[in-house]
Amino acid sequence: MKVLANDGISQSGIDALTKDGFEVITTKVAQDQLENYINENDVTALLVRSATKVRKELIDACPSLKLIGRGGVGMDNIDVDYAKSKGIHVINTPAASSSSVAELVFAHLFGMVRFLHDANRQMPLEGDSRFKELKKQYATGIELRGKTLGIIGFGRIGREVAKIALGVGMKVIASDAFVGKATINVPFYNGQSIDVEIETEPTADILKDSDFITLHVPAQKQYVIGKEQFDLMKDGIGIVNAARGGVLDEVALVKAIQSGKVKYAGLDVFEKEPAPEVQLLMNPELSLTPHIGAATVEAQDRIGTELASQIVTLLK
């Protein structure tokens, strides 16, 4: 059986599938050529990440497909219910990249509060001629320790964010439409750990009480954070979106930065990927990454081997 990993798969995943007799194809096929390629090559399983879309039309046109796999959490690029109604297995790897996304959130947080995103732009240009001025300019950074972090969306990734925040010494509050409370286990050396139970609160309270906010919700039909929500926040709030483009109103964000409501903002995802708005890309107040939350070597290995394990179980 043939597996087309159209958005790539780790070598560990390829090795696991090959060992069990699958042929793994890692050719990157353009979206408009996908139907022909799958049919011409009799592909049984299609693996994607966020780039490739698997809609009803493609599913109907490719009768050889028995499985669709998403390397990661969100499956908004796949018509999941329709695929399942056709008897096609649909799988993902919800836990594999949680730690990676959480660490990127804190990369943005630490970088923002010490102005690293701007210092890394200015030092190569003016570090030799304006060193003292830049030193003074970036000398008003703040510490995360003791600040309140509000987590909107308290699933796997949100809980990993909470784990790091507790280790840093932050106060953690969270909201979630489906989770009432969760126990966060913070591990230490020699098998020691502590458990911290966090009860979720209404989102309005998170907006009002947080010094920093991070989003970990699936794609929505409406904004989770827009002008109305910014108005409820403290002045000088910090916010990170490493969830999905479209859950944060980017126009409202830019206006909130200009007014001083938002002092720190980090984006890993954008409404118009893969071509974010120029106003965002050129804004010196923003800490930006190109949707790399799950893009670590360790996460990709976990994703590959987890996909392989599920494929072998379901198709052999």
Are residue 24 and residue 161 in the same domain, yes or no?
Answer: no
SS3 140: coil
Are residue 163 and residue 38 in the same domain, yes or no?
Answer: no
- CATH number of the domain bearing residue 47: 3.40.50.720
Are residue 20 and residue 169 in the same domain, yes or no?
Answer: no
Q: What is the pLDDT of residues 221-260, one digit of tens each?
A: 999 999 999 999 999 999 999 999 999 999 999 999 999 9
- Asked if 265 and 285 touch (Cβ cutoff 8 Å), the reply is yes
Q: pLDDT averaged over the chain?
A: 96
**Alpha-carbon span 95 to 18, nearest angstrom:** 23
Q: Give the tokens for residue 107.
A: 């990369």
**Alpha-carbon span 52 to 2, nearest angstrom:** 18
- Asked if 69 and 91 touch (Cβ cutoff 8 Å), the reply is yes
Domain containing residue 114? 98-288
**Has residue 73 got a pLDDT over 90?**
no
**Has residue 316 got a pLDDT over 90?**
no
Are residue 113 and residue 78 in the same domain, yes or no?
Answer: no
Are residue 309 and residue 258 in the same domain, yes or no?
Answer: no
Are residue 58 and residue 140 in the same domain, yes or no?
Answer: no
- Asked if 215 and 243 touch (Cβ cutoff 8 Å), the reply is yes
Active site residues: 244, 273, 291
**Number of domains, the chain:** 2
Are residue 28 and residue 105 in the same domain, yes or no?
Answer: no
Q: Give the tokens for residue 167.
A: 């280790």
**Residue carrying structure tokens 């597996």:** 3
For residues 55-70, give the mean pLDDT: 98
pTM recorded for the entire structure? 0.90
